Amino acid sequence: MNNLDIRLADWDSTPALRDIRQIVFIDEQQVPPELEWDADDAHATHFLLTADEQPVGTARLLDDGRIGRVALLPQARGKGLGRQLMLAVMQHARQQGMTQLRLSAQTHALDFYGQLGFVPCSEVYLDAGIPHQSMTWEATAAQ
């Protein structure tokens, strides 16, 4: 996959954001739709990752520093694109003056987020029937 782009996207006018989350969370992971779609989408900052002009990933950032709904289509996984997406979200957050970020990681992704500097801050819990753990990231002068 070449020609990568990560941009801010408007929730109301970018159906690819919903399409990716539908495929990853609802179809693939069997998250009930009523748990996937929430009021936070209306005011979140959404990120859209495209590869070769095709939408392949998304994430959202809330004003309180919570990152969520990080999703990559199956064909985009294992290529470092998730890392690039997260780094773009983190950079945007820093530009907005955020010095602490939080997320709820599916346990299979703990190492992925750990490599980005996130550290676990909770016990494992179930969210939509999937094991998760809360993680935090704090900005340092070197970052």
Asked if residue 31 is part of any domain, the answer here is: yes
Q: H helices of 3-133, where?
A: 15-21, 33-36, 81-95, 110-115
pLDDT of residue 19: 98
Q: Band the pLDDT of 140: cuts 50, 70, 90.
A: confident
Mean pLDDT of 92-120: 96
- pLDDT, one tens digit per residue, over 24-60 is 999 999 999 999 999 999 999 999 999 999 999 999 9
Q: How many domains does the chain have?
A: 1
Q: What is the mean pLDDT of the chain?
A: 95
Tell me whether residue 33 is in a domain: yes
Q: Look at residue 17 and tell me if it is in a domain.
A: yes
Query: What domain range includes position 69?
Result: 4-138
CA dist., res. 48 & res. 59, Å (int): 7
- pTM over the 0.85 mark: yes
Alpha-carbon gap, residue 102 to 133, rounded angstroms: 11
Instruction: Please give the biggest Cα pair distance in the chain.
Output: 41
Q: What is the pLDDT of residues 62-76, one digit of tens each?
A: 999 999 999 999 999
The pLDDT value recorded for residue 1 is: 62
CATH assignment of the domain containing 68: 3.40.630.30
Closest CA to 104 of 76, 126, 78, 73: 126
Asked if residue 113 belongs to a domain, the reply is yes
For residue 120, what pLDDT band results from cuts at 50, 70 and 90? very high
Report if residue 143 sits inside a domain: no
